[in-house]
Amino acid sequence: MRIVVGVGGGIAAYKAAELVRALGQRGHDVQVVMTRAAQEFIQPLTFASLTGRKVITGLFSQNSSQDALASAVEHIAVAKENDLLVVAPATADLLAKFASGLADDFLSTLYLAFTGHVVLSPAMNTAMWEHPATQTNLETLRKRGCSIIDPEEGWLACGVTGAGRLPDPIRIADHVETLTRAKSDFSGEIVIVTAGPTQEALDPVRYISNRSSGKMGYAIAAAAARRGAHVILVSGPVQLPAPPRVQLISVKTALEMRNAVFHHLEEATIIIKSAAVADYYVANIPEQKRKKTATRLSLELDPTPDILAELGDKKGDRLLIGFAAETENLMEEARRKMHAKKCDMLVANLVNAHGLGFESDRNEVEILSRSGQTVHAGPADKNEIAERILDEVAMLRLNLRAVDATA
């Protein structure tokens, strides 16, 4: 795979040399881009020797006007030629530039021109890491689909102990490997992913919904598309941009979600039902707004269609992956739902754990298979959890094919 490694100006810049070497040893073709500040910490020559290529150090060549013209459009060529952009160390300054779309040097300009996957490995002083400005920038970048490798806790060069240390370069290389390894293992598959909450109207201005953000489902859709699948993402109302190369179908209610899924069922080979579907709806929505009175209001709710259960009955030989969002008895409920709804696999998570699950960027899940096997994943970024879930789906599909072949 062709990878650009962007090196930011922090003490940890020296570790980027180890990372570049590790990526090269794993067979990747690496182009290094250094910021001006990074060159204060480590020489471009180190990276040139490791990659055998010229290191890009600025937007404009200092040599001749001919060179300057060529280098002025180089960021577009580098953006087109490479599949992955890894930035390590990603300083607070770089995160701020990327988040706000500033393009005043080669790396920030490349980030804007780059359409492939971006991995950011931040490293900085603990106070800078914890500052709301940095955390808000990270949140923005996560929402855009960047993978963030959280810094480690430990002794920092500024003399304090805390979060902010660049992880071991081998760990960063491993993370890159998970993103690149199985790049095409879903090619030929047509995957329906459902995501987000549903909204059930109470009257023309009010609705019942839940706290699902859709982040997990969107991460799965993006990862499946990256791994070669044609993805049909049936999404309830969320505040997320459509992932690249994904066919997005926006719905509001459980019934609309059901109809969209069944409309595409024939073509699908895998269905991943991560949506948090409302269990009840109001069958007769009044035409006008319900008016406030001084007395108690009772609402009559009817059950929505259980899309997953219906799919379990009609799925044929398609792979069906359900989800279970629980606040207690996680494994018991997960097993019950997997069997009752005839899923091949079920991803279960506790939604009341602090900093995980609903609305969060991180998750921790148990992935159950009908064979009885359970795999634990996380706590980790939802993009990483999405890759783990797809790894398990790919494995299950291989096992089922092997069984078919021997039958």
Q: How far is the CB of 255 from ligand CTP (least distance, A)?
A: 10
Q: What is the DSSP letter of 311?
A: H
Q: How far is the CB of 21 from ligand CTP (least distance, A)?
A: 43
Q: Rounded CA gap, 50 and 358, in Å?
A: 43
The answer to whether residue 322 forms part of the interface with ligand CTP (CB under 6 A) is yes
Q: How far is the CB of 228 from ligand CTP (least distance, A)?
A: 24
Q: Which of 69, 158, 160, 400 is catalytic?
A: 158
Of 256, 226, 196, 167, nearest to 391 by C-alpha is 226
Q: In the block, which residue shows the tokens 């929402």?
A: 143
Q: How far is the CB of 130 from ligand CTP (least distance, A)?
A: 34
- Six token digits for residue 285: 């929505």
Q: Is 174 or 306 the residue whose CB approaches ligand CTP more closely?
A: 306
Of 266, 330, 327, 280, nearest to 338 by C-alpha is 330
The answer to whether residue 50 forms part of the interface with ligand CTP (CB under 6 A) is no
Q: Is 95 or 276 the residue whose CB approaches ligand CTP more closely?
A: 276
Q: Is 192 or 254 the residue whose CB approaches ligand CTP more closely?
A: 254
* Total residues found in the chain within this entry: 407
Binder to ligand CTP among 38, 156, 240, 325 (CB under 6 A)? 325
3-state secondary structure of 339: helix
Binder to ligand CTP among 90, 148, 190, 308 (CB under 6 A)? 308
Binder to ligand CTP among 82, 109, 304, 383 (CB under 6 A)? 304
Q: Is 158 a catalytic residue?
A: yes
Binder to ligand CTP among 32, 87, 176, 307 (CB under 6 A)? 307
Binder to ligand CTP among 248, 306, 394, 395 (CB under 6 A)? 306
Contacts of 121 (CB under 8 A, 6+ apart): 86, 87, 88, 89, 90, 148, 149, 151, 166, 167, 172
Q: How far is the CB of 190 from ligand CTP (least distance, A)?
A: 19
Write the secondary structure of 106-173 as one string of H (helix), E (strand) and C (coil).
HHHHHHHHCCCEEEEEECCCHHHHHCHHHHHHHHHHHHCCCEECCCEEEECCCCCEEEEECCCHHHHH
Residue 354, amino acid: H
Other C-beta atoms lying within 10 Å of the C-beta of residue 309: 14
Q: Is 171 or 342 the residue whose CB approaches ligand CTP more closely?
A: 342
Q: Is 92 or 277 the residue whose CB approaches ligand CTP more closely?
A: 277
Q: Is 10 or 214 the residue whose CB approaches ligand CTP more closely?
A: 214
Do residues 71 and 79 touch, judged by C-beta distance below 8 A?
Answer: no
Q: How far is the CB of 193 from ligand CTP (least distance, A)?
A: 11
Q: Rounded CA gap, 212 and 163, in Å?
A: 29
Binder to ligand CTP among 277, 330, 350, 356 (CB under 6 A)? 277
Of 236, 213, 210, nearest to 360 by C-alpha is 213
- 214-240 burial string, b = 16+ CB within 10 Å, else e? bbbbbbbbbbbbbbbbbbbbbbbebeb
Contacts of 70 (CB under 8 A, 6+ apart): 61
Q: How far is the CB of 311 from ligand CTP (least distance, A)?
A: 7
Count of residues near ligand CTP by CB under 6 A:
15
The answer to whether residue 273 forms part of the interface with ligand CTP (CB under 6 A) is yes
Q: Rounded CA gap, 350 and 334, in Å?
A: 11
The answer to whether residue 218 forms part of the interface with ligand CTP (CB under 6 A) is no
Do residues 320 and 311 touch, judged by C-beta distance below 8 A?
Answer: yes
The answer to whether residue 220 forms part of the interface with ligand CTP (CB under 6 A) is no
Q: Is 260 or 275 the residue whose CB approaches ligand CTP more closely?
A: 275
Give the residues across from 234 on adjacent strands. 194, 249
Binder to ligand CTP among 29, 168, 177, 279 (CB under 6 A)? 279
Binding mask 334-353 for ligand CTP (x = CB under 6 A): ---x----------------
Q: How far is the CB of 259 from ligand CTP (least distance, A)?
A: 13
Binder to ligand CTP among 47, 98, 207, 323 (CB under 6 A)? 323
CA–CA–CA angle 196, 201, 207 (5° rounding): 65
Catalytic residues: 158
Interaction site with ligand CTP (CB under 6 A): 254, 273, 275-277, 279, 304, 306-308, 322-325, 337
